[in-house]
Structure 1
Amino acid sequence: MATWRRSAVLATLWTLVIVCVIPFDLISNGASNDDDESPLGFGDESGENSMLLDLEAFGMAKEPMEIAHTDSLSDSDQLEVELAALPTNGFRSEKDGIVNQLTNQEIGNNGLEKPKERQEKIDVSAVNPKDASVLVKQGNNSEIRTENHIIASPSKLSRGPIIFHDAMIHRLKDQLTKAKASLSLQSTLSDSNFTKELCTQIRDVQRALGDATKDSDLPKNAEDKLKALEESLTKSKQIQDDCPAVVRKLDAKYQPVRNKLRDDKRFASVLTQNVAKSLPREIHCLALRLTAQYYASSSSQQQFPNVEKLEDPKLYHYVLISDNVLAAGVVVKSAVYFANEPENHVFHILTDEIHYAAMSMWFLANPPGEAAIEVRYMEEFSWINSSYSPAMKQLESDSLIDFYFKTRNVLPDGNLKYRNPKYLSMLNHLRFYIPEIFPKLNKVIFLDDDIVVQQDLTGLWSIDLKGMVNGAVETCRDDFHRFSQYLNFSNPLIVKTDVDPQSCGWAFGMNIFDLVEWRKKNITDIYHYWQNLNDNRSLWQLGTLPVGLLAFWKQTMPISKTWHVLGLGYNREISHDDIKQAAVIHFNGNSKPWLETAIPHFRRYWTRFVDYDQVYLRDCKMKSF
């Protein structure tokens, strides 16, 4: 009886060997449902009684049909899982019973029964069966599983290959991806013959792949085409340039682009400066109409009321220097709007002779309520001349005129902003003569014409300057806006002073000037001293802030930043919360609020104080942007 059973077992095993070596397409009975089958899954679907085939033990070919790529695996922990087509449902249905008998049968009491062992299983259901490689190592009792079926254990893998289904399709797709990536490399494209060869092979592989979803759908020459593509990919690795060579080539290639970009940036900067230093046609129109109306008025109509307040030191005095009628109007209107006691505020407008009539007519037509106002022009201060003022003398010099108007002879210095006409105007330097222009005043608030007032400013007069002349908001942040950025500290004339290059800069635009201390400490004379030394512009370029830093050195008291928020003319990142909390906002920069280049989300803070229904604005067709 035992002999008969052993014969039956041997016969069954030989039958399995013969069936396994028969080509897949000869035993397949139609397409299998891959979604319901697990690779090498035999027996019930739960996999609890699955049998692990050791193909090598049966004498099958050791060479796998397809080999997965295991580039990411390493050392002894790697197990290369080989892929090939599996038998279909037809094959399984015929052999499942025999296999189950072999694996589950109790042989009897002849001592041949092998006790069942419960092995620890590693769930690798997260592993995609389509992946090119699978690696699992977890001691001697480890097993690889896909979905609910055991694939193999390390002990079995060590003695024979494991075969997956549709390996060729996965390899074709894998190599196509690599080939396309190689084709994008500059070193590959530089070899036209190789590029043509690689393109041809990519096209052949794509045609062979077609719409195939399993290996049996592929043409017979698919493997040959794949091998040819792999050989080309190996060749592509050999012709790749080293990284430094590629960097040098790219650098040489893009240097002209960088040069063009630098030139374009400089040209854009020129255009930006041209826009910033110009006035819109509508504002020119406004000035002309106001001038015509002023001279058409009688002398009695040209007088401002409340002249008795102009020299009263007990009131709150503001000094505004401008030749922009509309901008000056916004400053005064916003300051009066927020003033708690507007009748105690006095505005002194300083302009030039050209704009005097227009400026006067604007405030005559738009009086600031109960506040007092006067308009004066620079030319009436005859004592400000080239004999007294170094700035006046320099502005009339041939060298400065050449710097502005013969720029083709001047080397590019990157400081195009200094070629702004405002630096040719003495109005820009008039702030240093405020104590002499208003000899009866003790304290004033100096305002630029590109600011907007948002709170009552009377609190500024109560700030204790501790004997200093200038109260201002500091502008430094990290290494920005330090004295070293405005002044040439390599010049011996500055080096020998005690001026600290790391001192924090401050801003003109809203300043508290104690005129009593100014006169006592001769700040205007200090200004003259430094302005004379800078005749050749070796200490600083142009503008009034650098010389102001020197003139007010150790005479500036920092005040809270909430009094004065700057940057609305260039910095788009300023917080709206900071703006709302500020007493004064400053549109310093090229994007002035009256220009089309203004920063859109900041412009409304300025335009809300412009009445576009005003007759002069309407006549000049001025409208909000």
Structure 2
Amino acid sequence: MKGGASSYGYSAKRRWRGLVIGVLGLVILSMLVPLVFLLGLHNGFRSAGYPSEQQRPTSALKKKKPVNQESRIGYDKYEVRDAWNESEGDQSSHVCDLFRKLGPTLPKDVLRNFTNNAKNKTFGRGSKHNSQATEVPPRSIAQSLPVKNQNTNVDAAVGLPLYAKDVVDDIGKLCEFKFGSYCHWRQEHREEMKDSMVKKLKDQLFVARAFYPSIAKLPRQDKLSRELKLNIQELERVLSESTTDVDLPPQIAKKLQRMEAAIAKAKLFHVECNNVDKKLRQIYDMTEDEANFHMKQSAFLYQLAVQTMPKSLHCLSMRLTVEYFKSPPNDMKLSMAEKSTDPMLHHYVIFSNNVLASSVVINSTVMHSKESVNQVFHVLTDEQNYFAMKLWFLRNTYKEATVQVLNMESLKLDNHSKATLLHLSLPEEFRVSFHSVDSPPMAPIRTEYMSIFSHSHYLLPKIFQNLNKVVVLDDDVVVQQDLSALWSLDMGGKVNAAVQFCSLRLDQLKKYLGENGYNKNSCAWMSGLNVIDLARWRNLNLTETFQRLAREMTTHEESIEAVALRASLLSFEGLIYAIDGGWILSGLGHDYGIDIEAISKAAILHYNGNMKPWLELGIPKYKHYWKKFLSREDQFLSECNVNS
């Protein structure tokens, strides 16, 4: 019995010992499993579903670690490696990656090299080598991103990381400054961003709206979903009441911080790409529609500003008209009539409804003439501006030159139908884009403004029946040399002496002129400076030819200006005498790239184009050539605030 009891006790001890060992093994195993996951071995397995909130803060803290330039670059390398691993696993959309990493990034070429380096390297899980590799940036990237300040990685004035600002500055230096480029326009019209806070609020609102649908579907994220929704509603309410930074409430900075914090939390979770893509497409469509609307609006307002007389010039015309009727001055009709019909004098004709423009043409011509006593200027205008023109040229003298103002609407011409009322039509301008004849096929398209005679010009032989030759000047020219040599030109039986525009042939205008009836190799010509042989004009009946062509070409769908272009070019077919191109320099009303030396050598400057020198839209660097011939001492100029 005694031996049986001892054997029974021994077996009981053995069973107890085995139970203790088993329990200890389970305890140790239960401790090893968390250690395995803490050491990162779980990265080898792909878990399904969204990450939990407990897993994300650790990686988030790692990504917020950098405090200087080098550590910032290391942080970007972490992001590149994570993006590469994710693209290998689930082929997520680039839209998600872009939206998840909103904010300044490295340039594409640097980022591409950076991604290739991350792809080619083998990153050990938790190894020491891996830790060092992620913290030290590649040599090429470190050299391409110079550090401006070792104590901080953010530029306080711009609000961007220093490396991003450096990249932007380098790209700006590469911008080519030439006529027509955006950089040239931006350099001249650089302005500080207005209402930057409102724009930032709108951007944050778009981002929050893109994340909200995906966050709302996540389980156990009701708090974050509710926080996003409240912030979205709050910003919508603020933006509905405020359109500028001045109108924003004083606590808007705190609201923006709350929204940024909510978006930062939302970025810790994977979102559905469909919602982000849909929201981005909405932003793109809205932006495109708004851009198209503003382009059409700006084009309309630009044309309106070009065709509308400035307020100061309208004031000047009205004040002169009122003053004329207050006390009609003695206009010396008898002495003027003698000179205006003398064919031995030099007669200049100007069609204009602009007091200042016609005054500048006359003043600049007289100032550079050797003998002004032989000069007679005929200004043809409409009834609205007739009395203002008359008073202006009676109040202002131009050496010994004579100025005659004629009202087109009150002229009584022989052989003119009384049923057809006379009206003033100024020289027509057409914007033409074409390939130059001498340029290679791949050369860029050239754009010019062609100025051509209007219907009023074809009444010159009837208006000035006693004259044999006149010089026609447009009201947008400035004379810089003596023009007396034009009166001794031997035109060889031609009618119109003009500067030919041989870069544009009539064959290139066949859509407007038709296929037949002209020499296709003939050069186009321009108004601005034209010497007209009125005697030869009358012999060839060019006025009747023009009117016949105009009647044949007129349709219900075409404008009068388009008809004048075709009829003028065909009426003077073979009757143009080409004068030296050095007489007149065109393009000062649309071309920013004219050489200053060429301007100084030209006898006449022609401001053809939309940007006339008396408009605010005029090209600033060309305005002073026009402004120096203004009569600034006149009291009406100061009263109407004419500061052209």
Scaled by the length of structure 2, the TM-score of the pair is 0.52
Q: Are 1:463 and 2:463 an aligned pair?
A: no
Among 574, 577, 589, the residue aligned to 1:557: 577
**Residue number among 435, 450, 473 corresponding to 2:499 in the alignment:** 473
Distance change in 2, residues 1:385/1:623 (3 Å):
farther
Contact 2:472 2:532 in 1 (8 A): yes
Q: How far does the alpha carbon of each residue in 1:269-288 deviate from its partner, in whole angstroms, 9 at most, with x for none?
A: 21111111111111111111
* Residue of structure 1 in register with 2:127 after alignment: 221
Q: Which residue matches 1:345?
A: 375
2:588 alignment partner in structure 1: 568
Which residue, 401, 408, 427 being the options, matches 1:378? Answer: 408
Secondary structure at 1:488's aligned position in 2?
helix
Please point out which of 307, 313, 321 is paired with 1:277.
307
* 1:435 alignment partner in structure 2: 461
Task: Give the conservation status (yes or no) of the 8 Å contact 2:353–2:382.
Answer: yes
**Structure 2 residue 351 is the aligned partner of structure 1 residue 321:** yes
- Indicate yes or no: 2:323 matched with 1:293: yes
The residue type paired with residue 581 of structure 1 is K
Q: Tell me how far apart the structure 2 counterparts of residues 596 and 527 of structure 1 sit (CA, whole Å).
A: 36
Distance 1:194 1:619 in 2: 59
1:508 CA displacement: 1.1
The 8 Å contact of residues 469 and 555 in structure 1, kept in 2 or not, is answered as: yes
Residues 215-244 of structure 1: CA deviation (Å, up to 9, x unaligned)? xxx996344679999xxxxxxxxxxxxxxx
Looking at structure 1, the residues matched to 289 and 590 of structure 2 have their Cα atoms a distance apart, in angstroms, of: 25
Task: Note if contact 1:386-1:392 (Cα within 8 Å) is conserved in structure 2.
Answer: no
The answer (yes or no) to whether the contact 2:409–2:423 under 8 Å persists in 1 is no
Contact 1:294 1:302 in 2 (8 A): no
SS at match of 2:570: helix
Match of 1:483 among 495, 506, 509: 506
How far apart are the structure 2 equivalents of 1:345 and 1:374? 11
CA shift, 1:307, in A, is 3.4
**1:219–1:550 distance in 2 versus 1, CA, 3 Å:** same
CA distance in 2, matches of 1:375, 1:277: 23
Q: Hey, what's the Cα distance between the residues in 2 that align with 1:566 and 1:181?
A: 58
Residue identity in the other structure for 1:221:
S
Aligned to 1:529: 548
In structure 1, C-alpha distance between the alignment counterparts of 2:539 and 2:469, rounded to whole Å: 13
Instruction: Work out whether 1:308 is the aligned partner of 2:334.
Output: no
User: C-alpha offsets along residues 170-214 of structure 1, whole Å, 9 cap, x if unaligned?
Assistant: x989966964996999x86537499979x9xxxxxxxxxxxxxxx
Question: What is the 5 A alignment of 1:46-195?
Answer: 179=81, 189-190=93-94, 192=96
Q: Does the Cα contact within 8 Å between 2:423 and 2:456 map onto a contact in 1?
A: no
Whose radius of gyration is greater, 1 or 2? 1
Contact persistence 2:518–2:570 (CA under 8 A)? no
Q: CA deviation at 1:464?
A: 2.2
Which of 578, 590, 607 does residue 598 from structure 2 map onto? 578
Q: Does 1:509 align with 2:528?
A: yes
**Structure 2 residues not aligned, in runs of 5+:** 1-70, 104-123, 136-279, 426-447
Q: 1:444 aligns with which of 453, 461, 470?
A: 470
Residue 526 of structure 2 corresponds to residue 622 of structure 1: no
1:532: Cα distance to partner? 0.2
Does residue 542 in structure 1 map to residue 574 in structure 2? Answer: no
Checking the alignment, whether the CA contact within 8 Å between 1:453 and 1:585 is kept in structure 2 is: yes
Residues 603-618 of structure 1 correspond to what in structure 2 (within 5 A)? 603-618=623-638
- Compute the displacement of 1:611 (Å): 2.5
Matched, 1:589 2:612: no
Say whether the 8 Å CA contact 1:486–1:546 is kept in structure 2.
no
User: Would the aligned equivalents of 1:188 and 1:194 in 2 still touch at CA under 8 Å?
Assistant: no
Secondary structure in 2 matching 1:542: helix
Distance in 2 separating the partners of 1:526 and 1:327: 31
CA contact (8 A) 2:409 2:422 kept: no
What TM-score does the superposition give when structure 1 sets the normalisation length? 0.53
Paired residue total: 382
Q: What amino acid is the match of 2:389?
A: M
Calculate percent identity across the aligned residue pairs.
Answer: 33
| 1:270 aligned partner, one-letter code | F
The answer to whether the 8 Å contact 1:342/1:370 transfers is yes
Residues 408, 424 of structure 2: 8 Å contact kept = no
Aligned to 1:368: 398
Would the aligned equivalents of 2:409 and 2:424 in 1 still touch at CA under 8 Å? no
Letter in 2 for 1:375: V
For residues 65-96 of structure 1, give each alpha carbon's deviation from its aligned partner in whole angstroms, at most 9, with x where no partner exists: xxxxxxxxxxxxxxxxxxxxxxxxxxxxxxxx
Name the aligned partner's letter for residue 471 of structure 2. I
1:604/1:487 Cα in 2 relative to 1: closer, same or farther (>3 Å)?
A: farther
